[in-house]
Amino acid sequence: MSGEQIDDTGNHVAVSGPVRRVVSLVPSLTESLAATAPWSLVGATAWCTHPRSLDVVRVRGTKNPDLDRILDLEPDLVLANAEENRPEDLAALRAAGVPVWVTDIRTLPQALHSLHRMVTVCGYPRPTWLDHAFRVWQDVLAGVPAPREHAVVPIWRRPWMVLGSDTFAGDVLARLGIANLYATAEARYPKVSLAELNAGGADVVVLPDEPYAFAGNDGPECFPALPAALVSGRHLTWYGPSLGTARDVLTRQLAQRIPAPG
């Protein structure tokens, strides 16, 4: 596909496919492209850890990309995300003449649709991993099932921050039957006191290992009345090839509870 396309944020992006040189500023998108057209990926952030064999030029982080190094790579397209990347960095790349495709993913169905559009705009065939992910989640794509439990989902401590409203991870949990207690909060990642988290009426605390690396000896002890489920942050928060295994991984991990310490 070539010509002018419109990304998830409504920006017009001039592309001439197939795109041959891509810099990705988002770990999920890096993994997606590496599984689709690995030969096209010439740069990625230091946080792009999958696939493990990834061997491309590193352009610092998602929030502080090395713009000069990106320009030196002469990309046909830069892949970004509305939440992960700063608007001023993307604007600087556009001002330098680099097309930037921005995804905006808040739900599981949006992820599958957005990734299909991203691959298509690059001029690549729809990958088998995307078809597999669709089949894995197909029965819950049309709607969210009634919740079995309500959870608080910390993503950081010192200060405590939790999943709030309109998040991809919250939607994934909801489609697994776990309702986020803070899904109607005003903020997407509100700061909440530990006392409030413990008094909120949750059935379980879900502790992912990223962005904060919660573990069996770091996190569960703060919730004396709640069982804890330690889950893979990558499978909870990444969209891309990991969606093909995320349902099985998260279902198993959510069932393996650490008993309430109190």
CATH 3.40.50.1980 in the chain, residue ranges: 2-126, 141-258
Asked if 115 and 130 touch (Cβ cutoff 8 Å), the reply is yes
User: For 5-32, what is each residue's pLDDT tens digit?
Assistant: 999 999 999 987 679 999 999 999 999 9
* Mean local confidence (pLDDT), 135-152: 96
Residue 2 pLDDT: 56
Cα separations in angstroms, 194 against 197, 208, 259: 5, 17, 18
State yes or no: pLDDT of 73 exceeds 60: yes
pLDDT band with cut points at 50, 70 and 90 for residue 106: very high
CATH 3.40.800.20 fits 141-258, yes or no: no
pLDDT band with cut points at 50, 70 and 90 for residue 261: confident
Angle subtended at Cα 91 by Cα 59 and Cα 162, rounded to the nearest 5 degrees: 70
Question: Hey, what are 55's tokens?
Answer: 């061997």
> Distance between CA atoms of 14 and 204, rounded to whole angstroms?
47
User: For 198-234, what is each residue's pLDDT tens digit?
Assistant: 999 999 999 999 999 999 999 999 999 999 999 999 9
Q: What is the pTM of this model?
A: 0.95
Match domain 2-126 to its CATH number in 3.40.50.10320, 3.40.50.1980, 3.30.590.10, 3.30.70.2190.
3.40.50.1980
User: For 19-71, what is each residue's pLDDT tens digit?
Assistant: 999 999 999 999 999 999 999 999 999 999 999 999 999 999 999 999 999 99
| Side chain identity, residue 154 | P
Q: Do you find a cis peptide bond into 51, omega within 30 degrees of 0?
A: yes
Q: Tokens 């010192």, residue?
A: 158
